[in-house]
Homo-oligomer: A and B are copies of this chain.
Amino acid sequence: MSEANRDPLWLAILQETEQAVRDEPLLASFLHMTVLRHSTLEDVLAFHLSSKLASPVMDARALLELFREALAADPQISRAMRADISACYDRDPACDRYSTPLLYFKGFHALQSQRITHWLWQQDRKTLAYFLQNRISEVMSADIHPAARIGEGVMLDHGTGVVVGETAVIGNNVSILHGVTLGGSGKERGDRHPKIGDGVMIGAGAAILGNLRVGECAKVGAGSVVLDDVPPHTTVAGVPAKVVAQLGPGTPALDMDQRV
């Protein structure tokens, strides 16, 4: 039994895909090319993202090789990607297959693409990282700086309009809805973007601006504008955001309760 065959997530995705080919002839071509002819989840991700990010000025073959190189060089990307798939599966009631985020969730695609630009940034290949950031922003409408550090088990739901700045840090098991900004303030270089703790949930359209800290398991209400630190296990909301609730020991990112 090969290593791939011992990978339960990959086996589940293969099984789901084989079923989809049987159910939907129109997708058979796509699913064979993108999933079934490959032998690891990493190969599928690299192929799928290279399909999406290629353009008349950047060859899909060159991107595919680059993405495979990144995935081979940094096993952390795979680990995080797998946790991100599980995050979608566990937290999004509309997601009942592991293959759905992998193949069809734009926010997931943007996040995995950033994991690759982040590796490029670490390798000091900054121009290529900028090139890809631009392309990700065009295709997936999420503009995440390659230098931003992002944990595992993150759900970037929908992804449209998300902006994450250069010195932002996002912890593990965070849920970020569409339209969220983790932005800087001022025109000076240096550490100027938010730090998001583990388990935080940030509602749709919220803007968190400046080098501030959102404590672990905090919740930021939709449409809020956060300009100050947020204590752990609290809910903030409003423009500007204020603490509106103390939270119990739960994890807002997992509960996905949007009420404030």
Chain A positions within 8 Å of B, measured between CB atoms, are 20-21, 23-30, 32-34, 36-37, 47, 50-52, 54-62, 64, 66, 90-94, 100, 103-106, 125, 127-128, 130-131, 133-134, 137-143, 145, 158, 160-161, 163, 165-166, 177-179, 181, 183-190, 192, 203-205, 207, 209-210, 221-225, 227, 237-240, 254-260
Closest Cβ of chain B: how far from A165's Cβ, in Å? 7
Residue of B190, B210, B221 touching A225 (CB-CB under 8 A): B221
- Contact indicator B223/A192 (Cβ below 8 Å): no
Q: How far is the CA of A188 from the CA of B254 in the complex (A)?
A: 11
- Contact indicator B185/A205 (Cβ below 8 Å): no
- Contact indicator A62/B37 (Cβ below 8 Å): yes
Taking A60-B56, A239-B239, A256-B187 as contacts, is the C-beta distance between A33 and B29 under 8 angstroms? yes
Closest Cβ of chain B: how far from A229's Cβ, in Å? 13
Residue of B103, B177, B183, B224 touching A239 (CB-CB under 8 A): B224
- Contact indicator A62/B26 (Cβ below 8 Å): yes
Residue numbers in B under 8 Å from A50 (CB-CB): 61
Closest Cβ of chain B: how far from A211's Cβ, in Å? 11
- Contact indicator A32/B28 (Cβ below 8 Å): yes
- Sampled A-B contacts (8; CB under 8 Å): A25-B32, A26-B62, A28-B37, A138-B139, A204-B207, A205-B223, A224-B239, A237-B240
Q: How far is the CA of A222 from the CA of B47 in the complex (A)?
A: 38
**Which B residue's beta carbon lies closest to that of A23?**
B127
Q: How far is the CA of A131 from the CA of B51 in the complex (A)?
A: 14
- Contact indicator A24/B125 (Cβ below 8 Å): yes
Residue numbers in B under 8 Å from A28 (CB-CB): 28-29, 32-33, 36-37
Residue of B143, B239, B259 touching A106 (CB-CB under 8 A): B143
Residue of B33, B125, B161 touching A179 (CB-CB under 8 A): B161
Residue numbers in B under 8 Å from A160 (CB-CB): 137, 141-143, 160-161, 163
